[in-house]
Structure 1
Amino acid sequence: MRAVARRLVVCGAVLGLAGAGVSGAGAVSGPGLSGDGREVGAAQGEADLAYHGAAVMADGRMRVWFVARNHGPEAVPDATVRLRWSVPLGVRQVLPEGCARAGVRVVVCRTGELAADGLGERVELAVRLRGVPPEVGLELDTVWGGGAVDRNRDNDRQRVLVLDTGDTYYF
């Protein structure tokens, strides 16, 4: 678990997330992730992040698009959302700017600035899965919330089962 947390912190730093970093033998300094994946550091206010979008899968390829929303009460300078598939992703992926591979089944993407009670930019990505599974589970959740406290963590966790039918599944 510590290796995954360090990798996510490094991905956060690669994506330009302020304050996330690794020092010493894997210790986290400043706002970022603890060894068990929880946010640490001084909170910068309170926010309420949520993600809504859709996914479609056909022939071992999946397209996902979503929009982050901050229900407030304060703005978030940036956040990171984790997308986790129930099956491994293909070895080679072409990801959009602001997204990075963080594991065999995981991609992290930055949301950009989110105003209080505001919407973020639409994030779109297409991934290849290993093989051609008949169905895939996809989970989205917040990894880093820009230092803001989110007391309602239920709405920033989404799960969707996507069948290999070419149909669009909304979350």
Structure 2
Amino acid sequence: MRVLAVWGAVVAVGAVVLGGGTAVAAAVPEADLAYHGAASMAGGRVDVRFTPRNHGPAAVPDATVRLRWSEPLVDGQTFPEGCARSAARVVLCRVGALAADGVGKRVEMWVRLRGVPSEVLLEIDTVWNGGTVDRNRENDRQRVLVLDSGDAYYF
């Protein structure tokens, strides 16, 4: 009898946990962040400009994007407001709130790389999306090979 009572309590608790977990998962808003822009490089200086976009369906209360280069950056650089260096090859930029089907403020920066490489791989991805779920990670993760040609490479 005691075993049946314990088993019944376990089943009841499991139902509450599963039910609660399902309700919580369903309540998380979904958004689809994307970044589109261009990058160019000449003489070890990389110019980057991109615009964040939220394809929805929910708004994003706050978002942060990471820009990571395959080559280290020169120390002591100045970045645009909302952007900060977080590692030898990484800069984080707060893009802020994005309305559903909204376009954010354009981010423009240039960075100087150590040395003068003939190419650099730039990777851009979301590191914070304000607690929303993004099921389409293909358009908020960009990889761009930028050659030291002065030409713009679009993403």
1:19-34 equivalent positions in 2, closer than 5 A:
none
Structure number with greater CO (CA < 8 Å, separation at least 6) is: 2
Task: Name 2:44's counterpart in structure 1.
Answer: 60
What are the superposed Cα offsets for residues 128-161 of structure 1, whole Å, 9 maximum, x if unpaired? 1000000000000000001111111111100100
What are the superposed Cα offsets for residues 15-39 of structure 1, whole Å, 9 maximum, x if unpaired? xxxxxxxxxxxxxxxxxxxxxxxxx
Partner-residue secondary structure (3-state), 2:138: helix
- Look up the equivalent residue of 1:145 and give its one-letter code: N
Q: Which of the two has greater helix per residue?
A: 2
Task: Name 1:129's counterpart in structure 2.
Answer: 113
1:122-161 equivalent positions in 2, closer than 5 A:
122-161=106-145
Instruction: Give percent identity, aligned residues only.
Output: 74
What TM-score does the superposition give when structure 2 sets the normalisation length? Answer: 0.81
1:1-171 equivalent positions in 2, closer than 5 A:
44-171=28-155
What are the superposed Cα offsets for residues 87-131 of structure 1, whole Å, 9 maximum, x if unpaired? 001112110000010100000001121110111010011101000
- Point out the structure with max Rg over C-alpha: 2
What are the superposed Cα offsets for residues 31-72 of structure 1, whole Å, 9 maximum, x if unpaired? xxxxxxxxxxxx751100010000010011011010011010
Q: Which runs of 4+ in 1 moved over 2 A?
A: none
Gaps of 5+ in 1: 1-42
- Look up the equivalent residue of 2:53 and give its one-letter code: R
Q: State the Cα RMSD in Å.
A: 1.0
